[in-house]
Structure 1
Amino acid sequence: MDDDFQLHSPSVDYLDGLRAADCSVNTERNYAGRLALYLSYAVAHGIDWTTPTLQNLATYLRWLVDEPLPPRGLRPDAEPKHRRPATANAHLGTVCEFLRWSSLRGLVPGSVLRILARPKYLAYLPDGFDPGEDGQNRTIGARAIKFSVAVPGFEWLTYEHVDQLLAVAPHARDRFLLVLLRDTGIRIGEALGLRREDMHLLPNSTTVGCTVGGPHIHIIRRSANANGALAKSRRPRWIPVDPDTAGAYADYQYERDEVPTAAGSDMVFVNLFASPLGEPMKYPSTYELFVRLAQRAGLDAHPHMVRHGTITRWIRDGMPRDTAQDFAGHASAYSMKPYVHITGREMREHAQRVNEIQKARNATWRWRKR
Structure 2
Amino acid sequence: MNTERSYASRLATYLTWCNDREVEWSAPGFVNLLRFRDWLVSTPLPARGRKGTGAPRFRKESSANAVLTTMTEFLRFGVGHGWVPSQVAESLSQPKFLRFVPHGFESGENGQFRQVRARTIKFKVDDPGIECFTPDQVDLMIRLARHARDKFLIVLMRATGMRIGETLGLRREDLHLLADSRSLGCRSKGPHVHVRRRPDNINNALAKSVKSRVVPVGEEVVLSYRDYQWERAEVPQADECDMVFVNLFRGPLGRPMSYPNAKQLFDRIAKWAEIVARPHMLRHTAATEWIAAGVPQDVVQTLLGHASPASLSPYLHASDARKREAVERVAREAR
Range of TM-score over shorter length = over 0.9
Q: Does 1:224 align with 2:239?
A: no
CA pair 310-74 structure 1, distance change in 2 beyond 3 A: farther
Q: Is the counterpart of residue 64 in structure 1 residue 30 in structure 2?
A: no
CA-to-aligned-CA distance 1:171-198 (integer Å, 9 cap, x gap): 1110110111122121111110100000
Q: Which has the larger radius of gyration?
A: 1
Q: Normalised by the size of structure 2, how large is the TM-score? A: 0.92
Matches within 5 A, 1:117-196: 117-196=93-172
Distance 1:122 1:314, change over 3 A: closer
Q: Relative to 1, partners in 2 of residues 1:235 and 1:215: Cα closer, same or farther, differing over 3 Å?
A: same
**Distance 1:191-1:38 versus aligned 2 partners, 3 A rule:** same
Contact 1:159–1:182 (CA<8 Å) still a contact in 2?
A: no
- Superposed CA offset, 1:43-74 (max 9, x none): 11121111101111111011111122223446
- What is the TM-score when the length of structure 1 is the normalising length? 0.84
CA distance in 1, matches of 2:308, 2:55: 42
In structure 2, C-alpha distance between the alignment counterparts of 1:84 and 1:292, rounded to whole Å: 23
Which among 181, 187, 204 is matched to residue 180 of structure 2? 204
CA distance in 2, matches of 1:150, 1:238: 36
Q: Secondary structure at the match of 1:263?
A: helix
Contiguous gaps of at least 5 residues in structure 1: 1-24, 361-370
Secondary structure at 1:141's aligned position in 2?
A: strand
Partner Cα separation in structure 2 for residue 129 and residue 294 of structure 1: 37
Q: 2:3 aligns with which of 3, 16, 27?
A: 27
Report if aligned partners of 1:262, 1:277 keep a CA contact under 8 Å in 2. Answer: yes
Note if 1:296 corresponds to 2:268.
no
Q: Which residue of 2 aligns with 1:241?
A: 217
Paired AA for residue 7 in structure 2: Y
**Superimposed CA distance per residue, residues 140-188 of structure 1 (whole angstroms, 9 cap, x where no aligned partner):** 2221211111112212112221110111111111011011112212111
Aligned residue among 12, 22, 32 for 1:36:
12
Query: Using a 3 Å threshold, how does the CA distance of structure 1 residues 284 and 149 change in structure 2: closer, same or farther?
Result: same
Q: What is aligned with 1:332?
A: 308
Residue in 1 aligned with 2:323? 347
- Matched with 2:245 is 269
Counterpart residue type for residue 268 of structure 2: R
Q: Is the Cα contact below 8 Å between 2:47 and 2:55 reproduced in 1?
A: no
**In the alignment, residue 228 of structure 1 is paired with which amino acid?**
N
Deviations 1:283-316 (A, max 9, x none): 1221221121122112112111112222222233
| Partner residue in 2 for 1:310 | 286
Output the CA distance in 1 between the equivalents of 2:310 and 2:68.
25
CA RMSD of aligned residues (A): 2.2
Alignment-derived partner of residue 231 in structure 2: 255
Partners of 1:311 and 1:340 within 8 A in 2: no
Structure 1's 342 and 143: CA in aligned 2 closer, same or farther, altered over 3 A? closer
2:15 partner letter: L
Offset of residue 200 of structure 1: 0.7
> Hey, what does 2:263 align to over in structure 1?
287
Instruction: Determine helix, strand or coil for the equivalent of 1:285.
Output: helix
Answer yes or no: is the 8 Å Cα contact 1:272–1:278 preserved in 2: yes
Query: Structure 1: which amino acid aligns with 2:289?
Result: R
Counterpart of 2:72?
A: 96
Q: Report Cα offsets for 1:218-270 as digits up to 9, x if no partner.
A: 11111111111111222211112122211211211122122222211111011
Bigger relative contact order (CA 8 A; separation at least 6): 2
Q: Give the Å deviation of 1:341.
A: 6.4
User: Match of 1:100, SS?
Assistant: helix
Change (3 A) 1:72 1:341: farther
Partner of 2:286: helix, strand, or coil? helix
